[in-house]
Chain A
């Protein structure tokens, strides 16, 4: 499995942008970059995913480095409801590995009012 590296924790002030980094130096050409978040006692929630180009949706933006060895999840205005553990995961584009999402420890984001 290709692996990702994330900081254990980050803090942000409410209503400020948050940039959550992820390193994935061993990413292969067909791996998709996924982000999920998990609130306490809830299942993970899909946030965004991308392959090569930057992506935007209603929840966040995903900035992917040109060499694809790192990416950044951007929350444009953090709210208290964004406090969660954020997981950066590589999903293989095909083959048996494409059925797996391997969750690491993620980044615990705290939002300060």
Chain B
């Protein structure tokens, strides 16, 4: 069966520090991968998606970046965090688009920038 792992679960980082969040998927190959963010009291916002290794599409311009170094690994990074980067970060995967299938989300990382 397919599983998605996301870590860490919580993170407190000072303003200006770097960030690296990792997500891995098991039990499937060539998944579509996604990073979402949910700010406090707000809806989920798509940040990045990837349809293959090294292929990243950005939906929202910001000081975050994403990389996909391996088929089932998706990394969210920042060189210098801002207070506004605080939120609940979620990784998700889906099968190839066109099938209409559902997304599977990870358990999330709650990031607090202080």
Q: Which residues of A come within 8 Å of B, CB atoms?
A: 32, 34, 36, 41-46, 49, 51, 91, 93-94, 96, 98-106
Contact = CB atoms under 8 A, between A and B. Distances in A.
B59 A100 contact: yes
A103 B32 CA distance: 18
B17 to A, nearest CB: 24
Nearest to B100: A32
Given A32-B100, A93-B98, A101 B107 contact: no
A104 B90 contact: no
A98 B105 contact: no
A91 B46 contact: no
Dominant SS among interface residues on chain B: strand
Contacts, number: 55
B43 A104 contact: yes
Interface residues of B, number: 25
Contacts of A106: 43
A101 to B, nearest CB: 6
Nearest to A45: B105
B101 A49 contact: yes
Contact of A94 (B34, B44, B98): B98
Interface string B19-51: 000000000000010100000000111100101
B100 A51 contact: yes
B32 A99 contact: yes
B44 A98 contact: no
